[in-house]
Amino acid sequence: MIPIDKTDKNILKIIQEDATLTTAEIAEQVGLTTTPCWRRIQRLQESGIVIKKVTLLQPEKLNLGLTVFVNVKVAKHDSSWLKKFAEHTSAFEDVVEFYRLSGEYDYMLKVLVSDMQGYDHFYKRFIAGIELREVTSSFAMEKIKNKTTIPLSHL
């Protein structure tokens, strides 16, 4: 990992909040001129700390008003089956996050769909494609906190 100083930390905070800012605007906020700020941003990108810039969309405005957390227990744990499961699950556009877990469940998916009928359609396609031991779904009733920024206070 490359050393991160206070200025780098401030740059990271700023670009996490708004990646549309110009280098000059970022430089002004952190007290640098444009060229040194640009060099720092390049170093953060080249080191792999900054991995990409994206545009965030409002799911509800695109008829994706139902968030479902799907917990999965699997019957097999050999590497070829796990690879097949990862490929099968990752192929669904509805699956926006996918984690392998410790504990009671083996995997957790975050699925965005329009409504219950949309989830039922996803569920039927999901379970038809691969052998699973158990699938449990929880439906988000209210989004209380949803951040795309990661904490930097430990730096």
Q: Are 13 and 50 in contact (CB under 8 A)?
A: no
Interhelix angle 6-17/23-30, rounded to 10 degrees, is: 130
| Full-model pTM | 0.89
For residues 75 and 135, state if they share a domain. Answer: yes
For residues 32 and 64, state if they share a domain. Answer: no
Per-residue pLDDT tens, the chain, 155 aa: give them: 899 999 999 999 999 999 999 999 999 999 999 999 999 999 999 999 999 999 999 999 999 999 999 999 998 899 999 999 999 999 999 999 999 999 999 999 999 999 999 999 999 999 998 999 999 999 999 999 999 999 999 99
| Within-domain flag for 39 | yes
Q: 36 CB contacts (<8 Å, ≥6 apart)? A: 27
The whole-angstrom separation of Cα 4 and Cα 25 is 20
| Within-domain flag for 148 | no
The whole-angstrom separation of Cα 47 and Cα 36 is 16
Q: Which domain holds residue 39?
A: 6-46
